[in-house]
Chains A and B, each alone.
Chain A
Amino acid sequence: MSMMKRISMIFRAKANKALDRAEDPRETLDYSYQRQVEMLTKVRRGVADVATSRKRVELQMNQLQAQSDKLTAQAEKALGMGREDLAREALTRKSGLQTQVNDLTVQHAQLQGEEEKLTLASQRLQAKVEAFRTRKETIKATYTAAEAQTRINEAFSGISEEMGDVGMAIQRAEDKTQQMQARAGAIDELIASGALDDATSLSAGDDITRELEAMSSNADVEAELAALKGATGAPAIESSTPPAAEPAAQAEKEEQS
């Protein structure tokens, strides 16, 4: 029982310490109720914050996915023109993007989980705050200050524990969201820079190209290249073929049958 017992004791001690006791115990009731309502506002704001982060991740996933689709189309086209070097470049970039999309998918699931948890926490707290309010009014109407103490302690016990729990849930959600904000910011910059826009228009060798290439998986690229070749029926090109220097637009006009 030791771990459960120890955590229970520590948690309860903290939750009780958070309660300020007024001279007239009945005043403590009103004061505590105020704090409960504040906590309810806080947890609702927490839900909204997490939802905002989730939507941002969704937007990024959509943008990256669209970019990824575009690169696939470019690779197909390049292969159709016999430009395996360009196709490989596009697929390399796509592979790098896919790593980001996978990462975002995990983040999205985490944020969704946090959102759900906080929503439920907010519902539980609301039900408890309402129950507390009813009990508070009964106590104030029925008992003298001296008599009220026992009833008040009973009413406090459950709610203070819930407040501690909800406070902790909000803190955890904030921490997780903050960790993701920094990464989301980096992806926004990558998207805004236009670096992901077009494999054929990019100067190879810049920072972003290197970054994307570092993220990409060679095996993925080669496998997809092979699959594309199979699909388009393009002739296999020896990898020793020197990359053609002319821009893709020009090659495009030289239609192959």
Chain B
Amino acid sequence: MIVRILGEGQFEVADAELDRLNELDAAVEAEVDAGNEDAFRARLAELLDGVRDVGAPLADDALEDSDLILPPADASLEEVREMLADDGLIPG
């Protein structure tokens, strides 16, 4: 499975790690819903660290689609909300 951290690159992650990442992802989402900026940033950092820990960086010249795409490490809660709301954060 290939995971992209926006602004950082792609990682090859074993499928076996998915459950753990799902847990971390759910924790991030809970804070997005709760609107708690500090907690959100902490959980997002944990999720991204989780990907970096278990994942191997993909070669720069790989032309592979990612299975999962994650927000950049310095994303604010508001930015992630916009991304989820399809509000044009990603330039067309």
Which B residue's beta carbon lies closest to that of A18?
A: B92
Given A17-B92, A127-B60, A167-B90, also A3-B32 (CB < 8 A): yes
Is A138 close to B, CB under 8 A? no
Docked CA distance A123–B28 (Å): 30
Docked CA distance A15–B66 (Å): 12
Is B84 close to A, CB under 8 A? yes
B72 touches A172 (CB 8 A): yes
Most A CB within 10 A of own CB, among B4, B59, B65 = B65
A3 touches B29 (CB 8 A): yes
A123 proximity list for chain B (CB < 8 A): 60
B63 touches A7 (CB 8 A): no
Is B22 close to A, CB under 8 A? yes
- Name the contact of B63 in the complex, choosing from A17, A120, A158, A172 (C-beta under 8 A): A158
A7 touches B84 (CB 8 A): yes
Q: How far is the CB of A192 from chain B (nearest CB, A)?
A: 32
Is A143 close to B, CB under 8 A? no
A157 touches B9 (CB 8 A): no
Which A residue's beta carbon lies closest to that of B69?
A: A8
Instruction: Report the 6 A-B pairs with minimum CB-CB distance, sorted nearest first.
Output: A158-B63, A127-B60, A157-B65, A127-B61, A131-B61, A8-B69
A10 touches B83 (CB 8 A): yes
Complex A-B: 16 CB contacts under 8 Å = A3-B32, A4-B3, A4-B25, A7-B80, A8-B66, A8-B69, A11-B69, A11-B90, A14-B90, A117-B7, A128-B62, A135-B63, A157-B65, A158-B62, A159-B63, A172-B7
B74 proximity list for chain A (CB < 8 A): 113, 172
Given A6-B84, A10-B86, A165-B7, also A1-B25 (CB < 8 A): yes
Q: How far is the CB of A176 from chain B (nearest CB, A)?
A: 9
Q: How far is the CB of A20 from chain B (nearest CB, A)?
A: 11
B25 touches A3 (CB 8 A): yes
A4 proximity list for chain B (CB < 8 A): 3, 21, 25, 68-70
List A residues at the B interface (Cβ < 8 Å). 1-8, 10-12, 14-15, 17-18, 113, 117, 120-121, 123-124, 126-128, 130-132, 135, 154-155, 157-159, 161, 164-165, 167-169, 171-172
Docked CA distance A113–B72 (Å): 13
- Name the contact of A8 in the complex, choosing from B63, B67, B72, B91 (C-beta under 8 A): B67
Docked CA distance A158–B90 (Å): 16
A12 proximity list for chain B (CB < 8 A): 65, 69
Docked CA distance A15–B64 (Å): 14
- Name the contact of A161 in the complex, choosing from B8, B65, B80 (C-beta under 8 A): B65
A128 touches B91 (CB 8 A): no
B25 touches A165 (CB 8 A): no
A161 proximity list for chain B (CB < 8 A): 4, 65-66, 69
Which A residue's beta carbon lies closest to that of B65?
A: A157
Docked CA distance A11–B9 (Å): 14
Interface residues of B in 45-72 (CB under 8 A from A): 59-72
Which A residue's beta carbon lies closest to that of B2?
A: A158
Is B42 close to A, CB under 8 A? no
Docked CA distance A135–B62 (Å): 11
* Proximity string of chain B (79-90) to chain A, C-beta cutoff 8 Å, 1 when within and 0 when not: 010011010011
Q: How far is the CB of B75 from chain A (nearest CB, A)?
A: 9
Given A121-B7, A165-B4, also A7-B62 (CB < 8 A): no
